[in-house]
Amino acid sequence: MPRTIRFHKPYGVLTKFTDHEGRPTLSDYIDVPDIYAAGRLDKDSEGLLLLTDNNRLNHLLTDPKFDHPRTYLVQVEHVPDGKVLNQLREGVQLGDYKTRPAEVELVNEPEHLPPRDPPIRYRKSIPSAFLKMTLTEGKNRQVRRMTAAVGHPTLRLIRIAIGPITLDGLDVGEWQDLTPAEFRALKESVQYT
């Protein structure tokens, strides 16, 4: 079984192991040789990141043609109405392309949401809301661009699942090897044979 881990990436950490500018990287948290991030999560995003030592699995997880779902908890400015939610569900025009349809729902703020360091800027006069969004493509900064395009800029972005693998049970900055059952579920979800 290839070595595959799940990691709860903190805000402000780069999704790479070295940085010539001395910014926080994965190496500040993970000391596993020959393992690489299967995809990216921007420095200003948090949450689930999978890392593996298997090139084929990495390719299946990162190539957009494989349509595997990634789920995010997104805190946005203002409370989106039904029309806005439908725009996000149907796909949003972003410059020269339209995003694929997405699963989008308005959700309550999770009870056990870990604090972010630094916290998002609180503005008493501007309410915020939480969305749960599941996408099957991974364009650069796609969630942020989608919410901005419909008038609800993203304040906080947390990836909570990649296919069947979730963030559940991981504290910020913590990582764990996938269990054999989790690895089997991941393989099935990406048709890894």
Query: Are 106 and 47 in the same domain?
Result: no
Query: Are 145 and 172 in the same domain?
Result: no
Query: Are 78 and 150 in the same domain?
Result: yes
Query: Are 169 and 154 in the same domain?
Result: no
Q: Of these residues, 19, 42, 44, 53, which one is catalytic?
A: 42
pLDDT of residue 1: 66
Number of domains in the chain: 2
CATH code for the domain in which residue 9 is found: 3.30.70.580
Q: Name residue 56's beta-bridge partners.
A: none
Query: Are 73 and 6 in the same domain?
Result: no
Query: Are 112 and 129 in the same domain?
Result: yes
Q: Which ranges of the chain have pLDDT less than 50?
A: none
pLDDT of residue 102: 94
Task: Report pLDDT digits (tens) over 26-81.
Answer: 999 999 999 999 988 999 999 999 999 988 888 888 877 777 899 999 999 999 99
pLDDT of residue 80: 96
pLDDT of residue 59: 83
Q: Does the annotation count 67 as an active-site position?
A: no
Query: Are 77 and 96 in the same domain?
Result: yes
Query: Are 23 and 77 in the same domain?
Result: no
Q: 97: buried, middle or exposed (CB in 10 Å: 19+, 13-18, 0-12)?
A: exposed
> Which residue range(s) make up the domain with 117?
69-162
Query: Are 57 and 133 in the same domain?
Result: no
